[in-house]
Amino acid sequence: MASSSVLPLLLFSSLLLLSLPLFEAQRPPIVRGLSWTFYRSSCPNVEKIVRDHLKDVFRRDITQAAGLLRIHFHDCFVRGCDGSVLLAGSEQEAPPNLSLRKEAFTIINDLRAKVHQACGRVVSCADIVAIAARDSVELSGGPKYRVPLGRKDGQHIVTLEETLRNLPPFFGDTSTVLGFFTAKNLDLTDLVALSGGHTIGVGHCSAIVDRLYPVQDPIMERNYADRLKILCPFPNSTEGSFPLDLRSPNRFDNKYYVDLMNRQSLFRSDQDLYTDTRTKPIVEKYAVDEKAFLDQFVASMVKMGQLSVLTGGEGEIRANCSVRNSPVRMPEDGGDDELIRTLVSDGDEIEEDGMSAAF
């Protein structure tokens, strides 16, 4: 679909490559309470169980990989990687989470049921999310890597206000989005590398019509914009969807950065990574050096996956990923003493068709 006029942007001289910083990925330290071998004794096959099930899921629909990866991002950025986004309640109902896939939530609970059947209730939903995100990357063509485990599940319903304060907007510029990252001790390189997760998945008309109407965003390549206008013909178009990565939408590779250089990115927050002088050289590096991107993506994912984790005696291991094991009152800004829900404990099963999130 790319026009010949923009293809020369993909050609770089060896001098340019030599002039770029190395951006070498540094292996992040492991948070106290997590371990590479946490379930060695209690559930040694947990990762195989998750992987085997996801292989079956992705054979039928590889697009589910992007949904599982997004759940991990959205979980970790709000209260840390504690499975809070899985809970039916305010966090799922926040606008940034409304496009999270229902199927992805179902897949996570299916994985939880298989793991708990094999090992008992010893593996947290938060850990299952982390493993599923990792396998979604690898099984869609990305790198194979290890994730430290030992997270516990959070017990608090997160308010809509807290969710909005912590999830970076797709319409923000680099400075805006970077502010959300630095608040989590993630840096500029983490921002560019983790944004590369958009090499799989789709965006919807509702997120891009402001770049098409009433006047086309001048940064967007013209032929690309014309194609988007066919999909989203009106300023109030909402239904259509389009790949986030134009060139290889279902393969985890570095083509997302090639799209940025050709000005063919859906989201303003993505495209601005190539406009901003701080992030532009990193985008250029990853566009021509896939290994550099994949190495840094792994390092940044492991780093992000340890944000504010609950370990040891903190949190719980949920019997059902979408509900808590025991009643917990809302935070102070969530109302009076009203209990959101009465939940079961000790592994009792709950009807699993009640997850209200959609993405």
Maximum separation of any 2 CA atoms in the chain, in Å: 65
Number of CB atoms found within 10 A of residue 261's CB? 19
Residues belonging to the binding site for substrate are 168
Residues belonging to the binding site for heme b are 198
Residue range 80-109, pLDDT digits in tens: 999 999 998 778 888 889 889 999 999 999
Give the pLDDT score at 239: 86
**C-alpha–C-alpha distance, residues 321 and 151, integer Å:** 13
The confidence band for 338, taking pLDDT boundaries of 50, 70 and 90, is very low
The confidence band for 316, taking pLDDT boundaries of 50, 70 and 90, is very high
Give the residue among 265, 277, 128, 272 at the shortest CA–CA distance from 198: 265
Q: What is the pTM for the complete model shown?
A: 0.85
Residues belonging to the binding site for Ca(2+) are 75, 78, 80, 82, 84, 91, 199, 245, 253
Residue range 116-131, pLDDT digits in tens: 999 999 999 999 999 9
Whether 199 contacts 210, CB under 8 Å: no
For the question of residue 74 being annotated catalytic, the response is yes
Inform me whether the pLDDT recorded for 170 exceeds 50: yes
The DSSP 8-state label assigned to residue 84 in this structure reads G
Token duo for residue 33: 């309470």
Active-site choice (53, 74, 116, 156): 74
Token duo for residue 139: 């099984």
Whether 159 contacts 258, CB under 8 Å: no
Inform me whether the pLDDT recorded for 222 exceeds 60: yes
Burial class (CB in 10 A: 0-12, 13-18, 19+), 218: exposed
Residues belonging to the binding site are 75, 78, 80, 82, 84, 91, 168, 198-199, 245, 253
Question: What's the average model confidence in pLDDT over 321-325?
Answer: 94
